[in-house]
Structure 1
Amino acid sequence: MSYDYRDKVMVVTGGAGDIAAALIGPAARRGARIAVVDIRGEEARRVAAALPGSGHRGHAVDLTDLGQVEALVARLEEDHGRIDVLVNNVGMSSQERFDERDVASIRRELEVNLVSPLVLTRLAVPLLRAARDPRVITTVSLGGIFPLGETPIYTASKFGLRGAMLAIGLDLAAKGITVSSVLPSATDTRMLRQEAVEGGNALQFQDPPQPPEAVARAMMALLDRPRLEAYPKASESLLVRLAMLVPNQLPRLMRLFRRKGERGMAAYLRRLEAEGRAVRGPDGWQLVE
């Protein structure tokens, strides 16, 4: 069955980002009304204004601020009276090593990646229940299955988010709310490009990064055929799940994965350079905005 987007209220966090853009454009063309939620308010409003159709709105919200989240939910109730699809897509990553970063940055990353999707989902439950067929889709990561040694806080947040959404999905299914997660591998977004130029997690570059559209298609497939989890790249998901069957072998496996990943990251940087999206200077790589 194909999901009917007509007149559906879709709330998308991280709405000014690359993955969100790949999702909300097709959804708007199919008749959905999009609430674009992003900490960058001007960008959120610009994205909403550029969408086809009508009824779209950009919302400037820091999702780690409870008062702002409560105000967002109140505004959505006033504007629409319901939420048909909530897409938890906000996320961040830091390339600071665990033994060097400050505690405030650890708390911030956990708040953004783990706590904020749970809080928004909880506060949105009454508006979800007001819809005929409410859905929640959350962007997790293959980092929610496989530990990324260079970014342990990101790994912690995604392990927690995956487990929480599986549990919430089991709980809310009996209450009429369908909860799903998409677990992408490395995706060609600004966050990944920043990670590459900063010499971040090489493990993500086993294969060339997929386009944001691949993740968006997986999300839309979850609307067509609901299930607890979907993987845009099935082969990579199988590889990491097999590796986790032998966790005590991870130190050895990591050496193999890292060598391939370092070659993949170098190739990705060369591609960004050829496309004019990154430059290499005397102090290393930099993004071209």
Structure 2
Amino acid sequence: MSYDFRDKVIAVTGGAGGIGSALCHRFASAGAQCVVVDIDEARAGKVAGELPGGGHLGVGCDLMDWARVEQLFERIGTEYGRLDVLVNNAGMTSTERFDERGIPSIEKEIGLNLVSPLVTTRLAIGLLWASRDPRVISTVSLAGLFPQGETPVYCASKFGLRGAMLSIGLDLREKGILAGSVLPSATDTPMLRREAVEGGNSMQFLEQPQQPSDVVAAVVSMLDKPRLEAYPRPSESWSARLAMLVPNLLPKILPFFRKRGDRGMARYLEDLERRGLARRSGSRWELVHER
């Protein structure tokens, strides 16, 4: 059965980003009332104002500030009286290598990617119970299945979030709330573009990056058919899970793929240049400001 979005109240964290704004537009176009949550209040308000239909809300919220998160749900309660779907979509990564990272940056990435979705979900429980069909969906990553040597902190956060969401999905199902995750691979968003120009993990570019619309389709499929996990590219998930059957072979396997990933990253940067999103600056690349 197709999920009925009409008059549903859906909150999306990271709602002003590439995936988040695409989710909000898809939900609103089907009749939902969206709460666009983003650390950048102006961008959240802009996205909310551009959504079709009415009754949308843009809220600036630092998801690492628990008092602010509580205030967020108090405001949603005042405006709508319930929350039908919570989409934990906010996240971050860094191209700094592990042996060069500062401790605060490690704490920040783990906090935003892992701890904040758990706290946000916990604080939303009361409003979710006020819904007749409450749902929680978190954007995890294939990095929650497969290790990436260049981004161990990101992997740690996503491995943890995947396990937590599986457990939460089992626990809350008995209490009337359906929870699950989508696990996309590299997606063409400002975050990935920044990684590419800064020389991030080339293993993400073995295949052409997927589009935010692919992640949106996976989220909608989870609403249509609730389950614990969904993958925008199922073939990639099977490859990752197969490789993890023999993790001790990874040091021997990965070098065969790295050159392919390097070529894929070079093609992606050239594509960004053609689209006017990046440019060469000497021997380096830099992003072009997106209006």
TM bucket normalised to smaller: over 0.9
Measured in 1, the distance between the counterparts of 2:129 and 2:258 equals: 45
Measured in 1, the distance between the counterparts of 2:82 and 2:67 equals: 20
- The answer for the alignment partner of 1:140 in structure 2 is 140
- Per the TM alignment, residue 4 of structure 1 is displaced from its structure 2 partner at its CA by 0.4
The reply to whether residue 188 of structure 1 matches residue 194 of structure 2 is no
Kindly provide the amino acid, as one letter, of the partner of residue 254 in structure 1.
L
275-284 or 31-40, which deviates more: 275-284
Q: State the identity as a percent.
A: 61
For structure 1, list consecutive stretches of 5 or more residues without a partner in the other structure: none
Superposition CA RMSD, Å: 0.7
- The answer for the alignment partner of 1:214 in structure 2 is 214
Measured in 2, the distance between the counterparts of 1:139 and 1:44 equals: 19
Q: Deviations over 1:53-110 (max 9, x none)?
A: 1110100000001111111111111111111000000000000011001000000000
- The answer for the alignment partner of 2:242 in structure 1 is 242
The reply to whether residue 96 of structure 1 matches residue 96 of structure 2 is yes
25-34 or 164-173, which deviates more: 25-34
- The answer for the alignment partner of 2:120 in structure 1 is 120
Measured in 2, the distance between the counterparts of 1:249 and 1:257 equals: 13
Residues 34-183 of structure 1: matches in 2 within 5 Å? 34-183=34-183
The reply to whether residue 233 of structure 1 matches residue 233 of structure 2 is yes
How many aligned residue pairs are there? 289
Secondary structure of 1:86's counterpart equals strand
Give the TM-score normalised by structure 1.
0.99
Q: Contact (CA 8 Å) 2:26, 2:216: kept in 1 or not? A: no
Measured in 2, the distance between the counterparts of 1:258 and 1:157 equals: 23
Secondary structure of 1:58's counterpart equals strand
- Per the TM alignment, residue 283 of structure 1 is displaced from its structure 2 partner at its CA by 4.9
- Per the TM alignment, residue 257 of structure 1 is displaced from its structure 2 partner at its CA by 2.2
The reply to whether residue 26 of structure 1 matches residue 1 of structure 2 is no
Measured in 2, the distance between the counterparts of 1:282 and 1:31 equals: 48
- The answer for the alignment partner of 1:11 in structure 2 is 11
Q: Which runs of 4+ in 1 moved over 3 A?
A: none
Kindly provide the amino acid, as one letter, of the partner of residue 90 in structure 1.
A
Kindly provide the amino acid, as one letter, of the partner of residue 271 in structure 1.
D
- Per the TM alignment, residue 198 of structure 1 is displaced from its structure 2 partner at its CA by 0.2
Measured in 2, the distance between the counterparts of 1:26 and 1:154 equals: 27
Q: Deviations over 1:137-170 (max 9, x none)?
A: 1000000000010000000000000000000000
